[in-house]
Amino acid sequence: MKGRPVDLTLKEFQLLHLLASNRGRVFTREALLERLWEGEYYGETRTIDVHIRHLREKIEDNPSRPRYILTVRGVGYKFAEDV
């Protein structure tokens, strides 16, 4: 990110805001869907993975080795505590 502007979709912004506002807290895909779509989404939970991937491509220096949005294997995602 390093001070450069980034164009985000509304859902990407909401996802980033939620994770960054709760640094270190792990959210399951289901919890993220519930929070971001307020119970109005009935598709696959993998849609969160797609949003995370797009967000990483926009904010991470190396999306394949993320520094900000971390995967907690078998659980979900969190925003790094130490950045």
* pLDDT tens for each residue of 27-40: 999 999 999 988 66
Domain 10-79 belongs in CATH node 1.10.10.10: yes
* Residue 28 confidence (pLDDT): 96
* 80 neighbors 68 (Cβ within 8 angstroms): yes
* Residues of the chain under the 70 pLDDT cut: 1-2, 39-45
**Domain boundaries defined on the chain:** 10-79
**How many residues comprise the chain?**
83
> What's the whole-model pTM score?
0.88
pLDDT of residue 43: 66
Q: What is the pLDDT of residue 55?
A: 97
Q: Specify the pLDDT at position 82.
A: 87
pLDDT of residue 41: 62
pLDDT at 53: 97
- Which helix (H) or strand (E) covers residue 70, if one does? strand 69-72
